[in-house]
Chains A and B, each alone.
Chain A
């Protein structure tokens, strides 16, 4: 280890941002579909549950947790 090493965070490459981003996008799509495009037929299919709406909200919460985690404990990469 004679070479000097520089430390930096993985930044946007941090897998938690990517997971959070994709799940967040899915969350937004589902919430929009759930709020504005849910037919009676869809509701009956899900046995009365607002499946899209609730899953969408859960995905948004998960996404926020990943983003918060990635901010709180960034991955440090050493580069030689």
Chain B
């Protein structure tokens, strides 16, 4: 636990608070307006018909541009340097492009709206139950991370203890979710994206100037200039052998973790489904890929600079124990040292906004899956709609309370990315294996669906327990993996075991009749429902495949340079 009282403060003044208050006034105003208007007006905010692809594309990135991206990735940048960019250029962009080019037409064509729903249609209730449960648990744990970071900011601003900060932050998110509701979520995400950019770009510019530009970083970065190149990333993975480190990054992060996250995550995929046509839905993740590939420059680089020019972080990186400071504080410390009042307010507003939006997204995704996929399906069936709405509301409150608990788990990790990637290894890696196998192999049986998921998750947990530190004190240190290499290994194990078990079980159990799999399995789905009739007539900047090609080329160039 962090001793909250012995740490640094951000000196916000009246102007900063004015800026923060203005943000919340706008957000709550949107929520209230959305409530008061009749349903057709809610379409103004959300409707697939009226929202262009650039809005859903930005929401797609912004939904993910929460605590993890900003605090986690800058912490990672401070600790590991440029190798952190793998999370963007290897671990996100290719998967986003794959989602847009290959999978989105399939999602859209099959009429499936959520991942648990796909699981139920493809494999029946076994896999559905496992998936819905693990998704719900994952959302609670991730909500804890967002809440913890939110409370950290409140703590740095006002000096309240972590406990009080957590409870207050949770109360704010709860009222914000209740007021703004899901309907204003996408709207807020886009707004938040621009405020965050308005905060991070000046911060990065000043930091670069102060440290003496790129050359300044090169000369001063510790332990040495290898932190400036992203490959082979041995520090990041904790794997000493460069070859296996690259394998860990490409297979563990680039393939299993990132494809698992981006292509099956309910929160993300849902954003793309809100677009108005199949080609807009395909463009959503592809448009999102463009800002995504530039985010490292305003998140990782400030983190790296913070580890040079902020005395506390430099000492921490040098191996000294510094009380009350962890890598997770990199951005906050940089803000404290570099931003004058006024600009500081914008930075605080941006951070608060993104963590709240992140937690609100976790909580509302949890509440949807809990009330419709779990409660309605398995506990109390066939009640009127208002009953399930009430269940959803109670679930929201319960989830917020639970998130206070999971926030304390998160507070035990000095680098939150380690923790988060471990969670993704447990939940997303097996899901992706089952998903991809079930989509392309029509023989795969319902029993194989749920046994694969369960054994994949178990395999990841076993690897995490055997590793050096993936589960903190629970890890035994039998396997030579630490840091994020351990989560890459766990994810890889989950994927391989899931596939192996699914294949083995399939051969001894009965498949579903082919007639029930139309629209769910690639080979049984008519090609017309996978393509857009207007495709040929779109200009190049609206063609998903051409846009994806451009994005891919830029990302390859980045990987060559860094």
Knowing A13-B45, A34-B342, A75-B52, the reply to whether A47 touches B209 (Cβ < 8 A) is: yes
Interface 9-mer from B186-194, B239-247, B431-439, B499-507: B186-194
User: In the complex, are the beta carbons of A10 and B209 less than 8 A apart?
Assistant: no
User: In the complex, are the beta carbons of A26 and B346 less than 8 A apart?
Assistant: yes
> Which residues on the A side are within 8 Å of B202 (C-beta)?
51, 54-55, 58
> Which residues on the A side are within 8 Å of B338 (C-beta)?
45-47
User: In the complex, are the beta carbons of A77 and B209 less than 8 A apart?
Assistant: no
Q: Does A68 sit within 8 A of B, measured CB to CB? A: no
Q: B222 CB to closest chain A CB, in angstroms?
A: 21
Among A33, A49, A62, contact of B15 (Cβ-Cβ < 8 Å): A33
User: In the complex, are the beta carbons of B15 and A10 less than 8 A apart?
Assistant: no
Q: Considering only CB atoms, which chain A residue lies closest to B336 in the complex? A: A45
User: In the complex, are the beta carbons of A13 and B339 less than 8 A apart?
Assistant: no
A-B CB pair tally, cutoff 8 Å: 96
Q: In the assembly, what is the distance between CA of A33 and CA of B346, in Å?
A: 13
Interface residues on B, range: 35 or more
User: In the complex, are the beta carbons of A22 and B23 less than 8 A apart?
Assistant: yes
Q: In the assembly, what is the distance between CA of A59 and CA of B194, in Å?
A: 10
Residues of A contacting B: mostly: helix
Q: In the assembly, what is the distance between CA of A41 and CA of B195, in Å?
A: 25
User: In the complex, are the beta carbons of B49 and A22 less than 8 A apart?
Assistant: no
Q: In the assembly, what is the distance between CA of A58 and CA of B337, in Å?
A: 22
Q: Does B535 sit within 8 A of A, measured CB to CB? A: no
Q: Considering only CB atoms, which chain A residue lies closest to B202 in the complex? A: A55
User: In the complex, are the beta carbons of B19 and A18 less than 8 A apart?
Assistant: no
> Which residues on the B side are within 8 Å of A49 (C-beta)?
205-206, 209
Residue of B50, B206, B343 ringed by the most chain A CB atoms within 10 A: B343
User: In the complex, are the beta carbons of A52 and B44 less than 8 A apart?
Assistant: no
User: In the complex, are the beta carbons of A46 and B190 less than 8 A apart?
Assistant: no
Knowing A18-B191, A46-B206, A49-B206, the reply to whether A33 touches B50 (Cβ < 8 A) is: no
Interface string of A25-57 (1 = CB under 8 A from B): 110011001100110001101110101101100
Among B19, B30, B47, contact of A77 (Cβ-Cβ < 8 Å): B47
Q: In the assembly, what is the distance between CA of A21 and CA of B23, in Å?
A: 11
Interface string of B193-229 (1 = CB under 8 A from A): 0110010001001100110000000000000000000
Give chain B's interface residues, CB within 8 Å of chain A: 15, 18-19, 22-23, 26, 30, 33, 40-41, 43-45, 47, 49-50, 52, 55, 187, 190-191, 194-195, 198, 202, 205-206, 209-210, 337-343, 346
Give chain A's interface residues, CB within 8 Å of chain B: 10, 13, 15, 18-19, 21-23, 25-26, 29-30, 33-34, 37-38, 42-43, 45-47, 49, 51-52, 54-55, 58-59, 62, 75-79
12 A–B pairs (Cβ distance < 8 Å), ordered by A? A13-B33, A18-B187, A19-B191, A26-B19, A26-B198, A29-B15, A30-B342, A30-B346, A34-B342, A42-B340, A47-B206, A49-B206
Please give 20 more A-B residue pairs, beta carbons under 8 A apart, in addition to A22-B26, A26-B19.
A10-B44, A10-B50, A13-B41, A15-B190, A21-B26, A22-B195, A23-B194, A30-B346, A33-B340, A37-B342, A43-B340, A47-B209, A47-B210, A51-B343, A58-B202, A59-B198, A76-B50, A77-B43, A77-B47, A78-B49
6 nearest interchain CB pairs? A42-B340, A33-B342, A13-B44, A47-B210, A52-B342, A55-B202
